[in-house]
Amino acid sequence: TQLLEQSPQFLSIQEGENLTVYCNSSSVFSSLQWYRQEPGEGPVLLVTVVTGGEVKKLKRLTFQFGDARKDSSLHITAAQPGDTGLYLCAGAGAGNMLTFGGGTRLMVKP
Partner 1 sequence: GAVVSQHPSWVICKSGTSVKIECRSLDFQATTMFWYRQFPKQSLMLMATSNEGSKATYEQGVEKDKFLINHASLTLSTLTVTSAHPEDSSFYICSARVEAVGQPQHFGDGTRLSIL
| Nearest one of 88, 98, 108 to 9, comparing CA atoms | 88
Minimal distance in Å, beta carbon 43 to partner 1?
A: 5
Confirm or reject binding of residue 98 to partner 1 (CB under 8 A). Answer: yes
Within 19-48, the residues that bind partner 1 by CB under 8 A are 30-31, 33, 35, 40-45, 48
Minimal distance in Å, beta carbon 16 to partner 1?
A: 26
Confirm or reject binding of residue 100 to partner 1 (CB under 8 A). Answer: yes
Q: Which residues contact 66 (CB under 8 A, 6 or more apart)?
A: 52, 53, 72
**d(Cα 65, Cα 80) in Å, to the nearest integer?**
24
Question: Which stretches of the chain bind partner 1, using CB under 8 A?
Answer: 6, 30-31, 33, 35, 40-45, 48, 50, 88, 90, 92, 96-98, 100-103, 105
